[in-house]
Structure formats: C-alpha cells, structure tokens
A = this chain, B = another copy of it.
Amino acid sequence: MNIGEVAIVSGLPAKTIRYYEDIGLVKPLRDTNGYRAFRTRDAHKLTFLGRARALGFSIEDCRKLLALWADDTRASADVKALAKDHLRAIDDKIADLQDMRQTLDHLVRECAGDHRPDCPILQSMARQTDMNSKASG
C-alpha cells in the first residue's frame, strides 16, 4: 500500500502518517522507487493510533499503548492505569473549562450588549486588587 491508500484506510492525513514515521511510531518498508510500502499491520497500527488520538491520548501515551498492544504478555492493569490517568487529566481539563465557562457566562449575562461603553466584562478584567493599587508608578 502506498501512503495515499493507507491514508484512506486509516483515516489519517498522509502528512500525519509521515510525521508518525518520523517519530518512530510506524516503520513502513520502502519500494525500490523510494515510496513507502505499508503492510496490513502498519495500516492497523495507524488505525489504532487514530483511535487513541481521538480519545485524547498524547503521542507518548500512544507509544506506550502500542507497546502494550504488541506485547502478548501485557497485564490489562497497565493499560487500565494509563487510561485512568488520562481520564483524570480529561476531568481536570473539563473542570477548568467549566470554571471559565461559568465566570464568562455570568459576565456575558451581566453585559447589556448595547451601544453604550459600560461593560461589566471589561470592568471585571480591569479590576485592580489592593496589591495593585498600592503600587504607584
């Protein structure tokens, strides 16, 4: 399979596949003309990578997952630990975003959104703390 075909099969852009080769995630063969020659298992690996990335795993996590996948003697506990760590990271991100969301949503609701310059959103971001107002320049 050439890169174009494996791109269709795996659902990944050719650019991404070349990048994955660069960083050692896949090692396709080469035809005599220099073209990459992907085997079926390379395609499967790329599909795997696409799924793992879609679940938000980092490239380095994907590298570990691939190693576990390839290891018939793996313990599912190791995979689960990776997944749970990632789940926690996702939860943290969601919490951060929800904090932002709440603050911003509140400000948006407070803002009249008319032709006048008065704006609680700007006021909130400009409000100086005591610490700041003490500093004179």
Please report A residues at the B interface, Cβ cutoff 8 Å: 1, 5, 9-10, 38-44, 47-48, 51-52, 54-56, 65, 68-69, 71-77, 79-81, 83-84, 86-87, 90-91, 93-94, 97-98, 100-101, 103-105, 107-108, 111-119, 121-122, 124-126, 128-129, 131-132, 135-137
Q: Determine if A72 and B117 form an interchain contact, defined as CB atoms under 8 angstroms apart.
A: yes
Residue from B44, B87, B131 within 8 A of A128 (CB atoms): B44
The verdict on A75 contacting B135 (CB below 8 Å), with A91-B101, A94-B97, A97-B97 known, is no
Distance (Å) between the CB of A79 and the closest chain B CB?
Answer: 5
Beyond A76-B119, A81-B113, 10 extra complex contacts between A and B, CB < 8 Å: A5-B135, A40-B136, A43-B132, A74-B117, A76-B111, A76-B112, A77-B113, A80-B112, A80-B113, A94-B101
Query: Closest residue to A49 on the B side, CB-wise?
Result: B125
CA A128 to CA B113, docked complex, whole Å:
51
Q: Determine if A56 and B100 form an interchain contact, defined as CB atoms under 8 angstroms apart.
A: yes
CA A44 to CA B71, docked complex, whole Å:
56
Query: Closest residue to A93 on the B side, CB-wise?
Result: B97
Residues of B within 8 A of A122 (CB): 65, 68-69, 79
Query: Closest residue to A87 on the B side, CB-wise?
Result: B104
